[in-house]
Amino acid sequence: MSNPIPPTRISRADVAHLARLARLDVTEEEVDVFAGQLDVILGSVARVAEVAAADIAPTSHAVPLTNVVRPDVVVPSLPRAAILAGAPSVEDDKFRVPRILVDPA
Amino acid sequence: MTSGLREATGALTDLDAAAVAAAIADGQASAVEVTQAHLDRIAAIDGQLRAFLHVDAEGALAAAAAVDERHRAGEPLGPLAGVPLAMKDVVVTEGVPTTAGSKILQGWVPPYDATISARIKAAGVVMLGKTNMDEFAMGSSTENSAYFATRNPWDLDRIPGGSSGGSSAAVAAFEAPLAIGTDTGGSIRQPAAVTGIVGHKPTYGAVSRYGLIAFSSSLDQAGPLGRTVLDTALLHQVIAGHDPLDSTSIPQPGPDVVAAAREGARADLRGLRVGVVRELGGEGYQSGVLAAFDAAVEVLRGLGADVIEVSCPHFEYALAAYYLIAPSECSSNLARFDAVRYGLRVGDDGTRSLEEVMSATRKAGFGAEVKRRIMIGTYALSSGYYEAYYGQAQKVRTLIAGDFTSAFTRCDVLVSPTSPFVAFRVGERVADPMAMYVNDLCTLPASLAGTPAISVPCGLAADGSGDPTRLPVGLQVMAPALADDRCYRVAAAFEAARPEPTLPEPTLPEAAR
C-alpha cells in the first residue's frame, strides 16, 4: 500500500478554514451543507489509496513536452483601454484595487 | 427568391453542415438565407429549449454576408464557409459577451478571440451565439449554469447532458448544424450521447486551449459536435492544429480526420481489432444502455471487426482520481477571479479590505458546485494531505494511461457506452453531487490519459423507470493519442451500418419544424 489516507471527517471548522483559504465567504447554512457534501465526496475519492502505486511516477500532464520556447520577438499587446474596459474599477488608466493596508488601530 | 432547395429538402435548418456548405457553394442558397433560417428557428424554439445564453444575430448576419460577398467575387470558399455554429460560452469571443455560465463574468466582453474563435472566423463559419453550460464547465447536466437550465429536445423535462449541454441541445434541435464544446471529463461526449448527436474529444493538445476559460488545464480540451460523423470531422479539421499561443499544443500536424470519416462511411471494418472494456459496463449501468451497446458491438462485428474483451483494471479508480485532480487544478485556476481585472466586484465601499472584497465577490459570483470543487481542491492540495490525495491521484493517472497503452497493444480501438445512463430528469440529481459525478464514469479514463474519444449515437432506450420515452444512447470509441482519425473512421462505418435512423426527429418544437 502507498500513503495512508488521512481520516476524512470534514467538520464545520474544516469547511470554514477551507473557505477562508480559498477566499470564499460562506454562510452558516452553507457551512452545514458543504460539510456533509465534502465529507461524502472526499470519503469517496479517498479510494485512490487502495491502489498500490508507491513506485509509480506521477502524471501531471498527458503531453510529454518540456521547456516549450518560441523566438523572442516583440509583438504588440492588447491596447490598454481594451483591457481596462472589462475591469470592475479603474483609476488613472490602471486597475483600482480595494484597500490593501489596514489602519493601525 | 429562395431556391428550389427548400421545397426539395424541407427547411434549411434540416440540412447537415456538409449539405449547407454545398448548397452555398452551388449557389442554391446564400449564407445569409441559411443564417436567417437558423436565427428564425432559435427565435421560435429557444424560449423552451434555452440552449443559448447570447444570440449574436447582427454579427452572424454580417459574417454570412461576408461569405456571400466572397462567393460573388469568385473567391474560393472553405469546406464549412457559411455554415452556422453554436459556440460554448467558455470560449472567449472578441466583442461578444462571454460568461462561462457564471455570474462572476456577467457582462464581460472579451477584448480578444480564442484561437478556436479566430480559426472559425477565418474558415467563414458563422457563429450564431454562445451556448449555455454548467458554470466553468463543472457538471454533467447544464443545471449548474448560473443562468438557467437547458432542456433536452427529446424530452423537455430532461437534461441535455453537460457541461456542453447548450451546444448539444442546439445541434440536436436543429438550431445549428455544428457546435463547439469543451471536454474535461466527458463534457462533449456525454451531452452528445444523451441528445443523439456526435461529439469528439480530440487528443489533448490537438486543439488550442488559448482563449478557453480554464477549469482543469491538464484535462481541458475543446472539440466539435455535429449531427453526422462527417460534419464533426469537418469542424475538427477547422479548429485543430498547432498554436504557438498554447504551449501544450502539439507541434505537429494531426491526422486527416475528414478523409477518415469519408473512407469509414464507405468501408467495412475487416481486420480492425476492437476491445470491449470489461470495467466500463455491468452493475450500475441502465439495462437499456447496455442492450443498445451490445447491439452496437454486434454491428461492429457484422462489419468484420475482431471483437475481444479487454481489462483495464485501474479504470475503476478514474472517478476518484479525476475528482481530486480536476478540483485541485480548478482551485488554482479560479483564483484569477479576484475582483480586480475583470468581472464582478462586490462590497467595495472604501472600508473593506482587498481580501474582504475578494471573498464577498467570490461568494456572490460562484455557484455551489464551483465552491465545492474549489474547497475540495484546496483540501487536496493542503500540506499534509497533498501526497495522499493529489499526489496519489497523479500516480493513478499514470496507471490508467498504462492500461490504455497495454490495451492498445492488442486492439486498435476500445469501445464502451458513453454514459451509464440516458438523459435524466431536470432536478433529479442536483442535491447529490456523487450521483451527478457518476455520469462521467465511462468518459473519464480518456480524459486522464489525454487520448481521443468520440461518441456516436447507437440507439434508443427507456430509462427503466417505467417511463416509455425512448432516449438516445451513445457508443464511445477510444483510440491512442494522435490517432483521432481511427475514432472517426470507426464511428463513420458504424453510422453507415447502424439499424436505427440517423437522427430520429426530436420531439420538440413541432411548432417550428
Q: What is the DSSP string of B8-21?
A: HHS-GGGS-HHHHH
Neighbours of A26 (CB within 10 A): 20
Cell triple for residue B314? 485501474
> Helix, strand, coil: what percent of chain A each, to 5?
35, 5, 60
Across the interface, whether the CB atoms of B389 and A46 are under 8 A apart is answered yes
Cell triple for residue A32? 452545514
| 3-state class (DSSP) for residue B456 | strand
B164-180 burial string, b = 16+ CB within 10 Å, else e?
A: bbbbbbbbbbbbbbbbb
**pLDDT band for position B512 (50/70/90)?**
very low
* Mean pLDDT confidence for B166-173: 97
**pLDDT band for position A70 (50/70/90)?**
confident
Half-sphere exposure of A36 (CA within 13 A, CB side): 8
In Å, how far is A101's CA from the nearest CA of chain B? Answer: 7
**pLDDT band for position B171 (50/70/90)?**
very high
Per-residue pLDDT tens digits for B26-47: 999 999 999 999 999 999 999 9
pLDDT at B502: 53
Q: How far apart are the first and last CA of chain A?
A: 53
The set of residues, in sequence order, having a beta carbon less than 8 Å from that of B310 and lying 6+ positions away, is: B275, B276, B277, B278, B407, B410, B411, B414
pLDDT at B1: 33
In Å, how far is B439's CA from the nearest CA of chain A? Answer: 15
| 3-state class (DSSP) for residue B476 | strand
Q: Which of B224, B225, B227, B51 is nearest to B152 (CA)?
A: B51
Name the residue type at position B324: L
Per-residue pLDDT tens digits for B447-471: 999 999 999 999 999 999 999 999 9
From the list A4, A19, A98, the residue facing B353 with the nearest CB is: A98
Residue B2 pLDDT > 80 = no
Across the interface, whether the CB atoms of B372 and A88 are under 8 A apart is answered no
pTM exceeds 0.90, yes or no: yes
C-alpha B418, offset from chain centre: 12
Across the interface, whether the CB atoms of A24 and B371 are under 8 A apart is answered yes
CA-CA distance, B20 to B183, in Å (whole number)?
A: 27
Q: Which of A41, A3, A33 is nearest to A15 (CA)?
A: A33
Active site residues of B: 88, 163, 187
Interface mutation vs chain B, best among A12, A15, A24, most B CBs within 10 Å = A24
* Mean pLDDT confidence for A22-43: 94
Neighbours of B477 (CB within 10 A): 26
> B454 and B416 in contact (C-beta within 8 Å)?
no
Using a pLDDT cut of 70, give the percent of chain B over it: 95
CA-CA distance, B459 to B501, in Å (whole number)?
A: 8
**pLDDT band for position A61 (50/70/90)?**
confident
Identify the bridge partners of residue A90 per DSSP, sorted by sequence position. Answer: A95
Per-residue pLDDT tens digits for B48-59: 999 999 999 999
Across the interface, whether the CB atoms of A78 and B112 are under 8 A apart is answered yes
Cis upstream peptide for B163 (omega within 30°): yes
Q: Is A99 on the interface with B (CB under 8 A)?
A: yes
Interface mutation vs chain B, best among A10, A41, A66, A94, most B CBs within 10 Å = A41
Across the interface, whether the CB atoms of A98 and B348 are under 8 A apart is answered yes
